Chain A
Amino acid sequence: MQNYLSINNIEVIYDHVILVLKGVSLTVPQGGIVALLGANGAGKTTTLKAISNLLHAERGDVTKGSIEFQGKRIDQLTPNDLVKGGVIQVMEGRHCFGHLTLEENLLTGAYTRSINRAELKNSLDKVYTYFPRLKERRATQAGYTSGGEQQMCAIGRALMANPQMILLDEPSMGLAPQIVEQIFEIVKDLNSKENISFLLAEQNTMVALRYADFGYILENGRVVMEGKAEDLRTNEDVKEFYLGLSSGERKSFRDVKHYRRRKRWLA
């Protein structure tokens, strides 16, 4: 498989002192869905923001390593250039424009494209076919829509930029399991029909591994495990630490200590 997006051993420092990523490497193949898993503060969001170059706005800096997309270095581009180049991030917590209607939200997504009215209309219709719910509520201000609708709006808005790759940060956050399934189904659809590659950061390991082809597990700013989604899903350690499944009956305190030891060894 061709390496589409590749991150080589990057280190990210916030505010010149706080070391968050300590050498993360990962690759996303063309047309793949890759999941980036890990607990709170593991560095998932930072990794995504390092790729999309939103770090600078938060006083973060990629101090080592390189990020390449289609063979070209992208770590010094502005977010604007990057979106034009086909990589767009859907931020954690949706971040819709609350006072704009859903349709206006979608239209702002096409800001970087210089297209005429008909093409714009086409793109809009395409987004509406994937998210019929957005069409129903297009005249509503985004601030008054539900969490699921906002997540759809955020993904739809990214689609309007006609991306080749979407960095999806915690799409399941704060949503009912049913809506989460719906969103992931659409992601899968976009992946197979529009050939958009996805790098998605998730805490919901179970769902993410069901839809992804490949997964990386981050811990304390390092990749501690990687593998095909089904391998990770069946891996005993992953099952125990991230899926909360254990093979036997209830564990005693000694086993918990054992788990801590094993986790440290992993890191």
Chain B
Amino acid sequence: MEFFFEVLIGGLLSGVMYSLVALGFVLIYKASGVFNFAQGAMVYFAALTFAGFVDMGAPLPVAFVGAFVSMIVLGILTERVVLRPLVNQPQITLFMATIGLAFFIEGLAQIVWGASTRRIDLGITDEPIPYILDRFNMVVSTFDLIAAVIAGALVAVLAAFFQYTKIGRALRAVADDHQAALSIGIPLQHIWAIIWTVAGFVALVAGMLWGARNGAQFALTFVALKALPVLILGGFTSILGAIVGGLIIGSTEKLAEVYIGPMVGGGIENWFPYVLALFFLLVRPEGLFGEKHIDRV
């Protein structure tokens, strides 16, 4: 039984890391109705920038601020150059634009910081917490736990921001109807610049945590793919959904690997989430917490 819980907790904590990436998708999807293909590239760019500043000798907080400023600039530029000329275009057009953006950001990151892997050391050890090890005889990583707490805090803040602030309300309004938002004087440009900046911030946090675990390397862009089943499960429009989806994906993939894996020869961790997502698409296409499509007939 202890082993079961150890696997479950490990899965939940790694799920939080998926949630963190999924969160970036949700933000942009909520505000512009676009699946931002470039989210993975943004995570990579943020991680590499952060690591780059650290390698140049900057202390961690300075590197963090520097990387955040870079993400703000990236967000504003994206709005100016990519989104503004495409106002009111079909969403597939915007989606294609984000694919292009993904390649651009990946290339930009490599031009500026080089293509080699950089190490990120946040000063958090990846060792079992002694207390839990002694008391319950379970291995729970300190790093995982801290990452989970950070992600949880981030989600709480974002959820409150969307629900209760004027800008949060405007963001949701823009997500519902660009034109109507424009007609009552909500400046789309500002809203988009804000949302891309916030998504950049989330990408930075995700990039730092993932980078600390796996190194700031190109493979980070593929982490975004793991966010897909999370989004399908939780719903593209729900911040809460991103978290719950992440937890479900994280825990089920680990549990499936341990308990079902041996029956089929192992290695199912990599594809199991997608099968789960596929099943969800059939049963509940808007996801667990996604907004229902409201149509007047």
- The interface of chain A, by Cβ under 8 A from chain B, is 52, 54, 57-59, 78-80, 82-84, 88-91, 95-100, 104-105, 107-109, 111-112, 141, 143-144, 147, 154, 157-158, 161
Task: State how many angstroms separate the Cβ of A55 from the closest Cβ of chain B.
Answer: 11
CA distance A96 to B291 in the complex (A): 16
Q: A79-B182, A80-B187, A91-B179 are in contact. Are A99 and B169 (CB under 8 A)?
A: no
Complex interface: chain B residues within 8 A of A54 (CB): 179, 182-183
Among A79, A143, A147, the residue within 8 A (CB) of B185 is: A79
Known A-B contacts: A79-B183, A104-B169, A147-B296. Give 8 more (CB < 8 A).
A82-B185, A88-B184, A89-B183, A91-B180, A97-B172, A99-B291, A143-B294, A161-B185
Task: State how many angstroms separate the Cβ of B190 from the closest Cβ of chain A.
Answer: 8
Complex A-B: 22 CB contacts under 8 Å: A52-B183, A57-B178, A57-B182, A80-B186, A80-B187, A83-B185, A88-B184, A90-B183, A95-B177, A95-B183, A97-B177, A98-B177, A98-B294, A99-B175, A99-B294, A100-B172, A104-B172, A108-B173, A111-B169, A111-B170, A143-B296, A154-B180
Complex interface: chain A residues within 8 A of B181 (CB): 97, 108
Check B91 for interface membership: any CB of A closer than 8 A: no
Among residues of B, the one whose C-beta sits closest to the C-beta of A94 is B180
B176 touches A98 (CB 8 A): yes
B260-297 residues at the A interface, CB under 8 angstroms: 291, 294, 296
Complex interface: chain B residues within 8 A of A89 (CB): 183
Among residues of A, the one whose C-beta sits closest to the C-beta of B191 is A111
Among A78, A79, A91, A100, the residue within 8 A (CB) of B173 is: A100
Check B135 for interface membership: any CB of A closer than 8 A: no
Complex interface: chain B residues within 8 A of A58 (CB): 88
Tell which of B178, B185, B187, B296 has the most Cβ of chain A within 10 Å. Answer: B185
Check B87 for interface membership: any CB of A closer than 8 A: yes
Complex interface: chain A residues within 8 A of B172 (CB): 97, 99-100, 104
CA distance A157 to B183 in the complex (A): 11
Interface size on B, residues (CB 8 A): 23
Among residues of A, the one whose C-beta sits closest to the C-beta of B175 is A99
Q: A99-B294, A108-B169, A147-B296 are in contact. Are A88 and B185 (CB under 8 A)?
A: yes
Q: A58-B88, A108-B169 are in contact. Are A97 and B185 (CB under 8 A)?
A: no
Tell which of A57, A84, A107, A157 has the most Cβ of chain B within 10 Å. Answer: A57
A57 touches B296 (CB 8 A): no
- The interface of chain B, by Cβ under 8 A from chain A, is 87-88, 166, 169-170, 172-173, 175-187, 291, 294, 296
CA distance A143 to B183 in the complex (A): 18
Complex interface: chain B residues within 8 A of A82 (CB): 185
Q: A95-B180, A97-B177, A100-B169 are in contact. Are A111 and B186 (CB under 8 A)?
A: yes
Complex interface: chain A residues within 8 A of B169 (CB): 100, 104, 107-108, 111
B184 touches A57 (CB 8 A): no
Complex interface: chain A residues within 8 A of B87 (CB): 57
CA distance A109 to B186 in the complex (A): 9
Among residues of B, the one whose C-beta sits closest to the C-beta of A158 is B184
Complex interface: chain A residues within 8 A of B166 (CB): 107, 111
Q: Which 3 A-B pairs have the closest CB atoms?
A: A83-B185, A143-B294, A95-B180
Task: State how many angstroms separate the Cβ of A134 from the closest Cβ of chain B.
Answer: 16
Complex interface: chain A residues within 8 A of B291 (CB): 99
Complex interface: chain B residues within 8 A of A78 (CB): 187
Complex interface: chain B residues within 8 A of A52 (CB): 183
CA distance A107 to B186 in the complex (A): 12
CA distance A168 to B263 in the complex (A): 67
Complex interface: chain B residues within 8 A of A57 (CB): 87-88, 178-179, 182
B88 touches A157 (CB 8 A): no
Complex interface: chain B residues within 8 A of A141 (CB): 294
A99 touches B185 (CB 8 A): no
A112 touches B176 (CB 8 A): no
CA distance A100 to B30 in the complex (A): 13
Complex interface: chain B residues within 8 A of A97 (CB): 172-173, 176-177, 180-181
CA distance A59 to B85 in the complex (A): 10
CA distance A88 to B180 in the complex (A): 11
Task: State how many angstroms separate the Cβ of B148 from the closest Cβ of chain A.
Answer: 29
Among residues of B, the one whose C-beta sits closest to the C-beta of A96 is B180
Task: State how many angstroms separate the Cβ of A241 from the closest Cβ of chain B.
Answer: 31
Complex interface: chain A residues within 8 A of B178 (CB): 57
CA distance A83 to B182 in the complex (A): 10
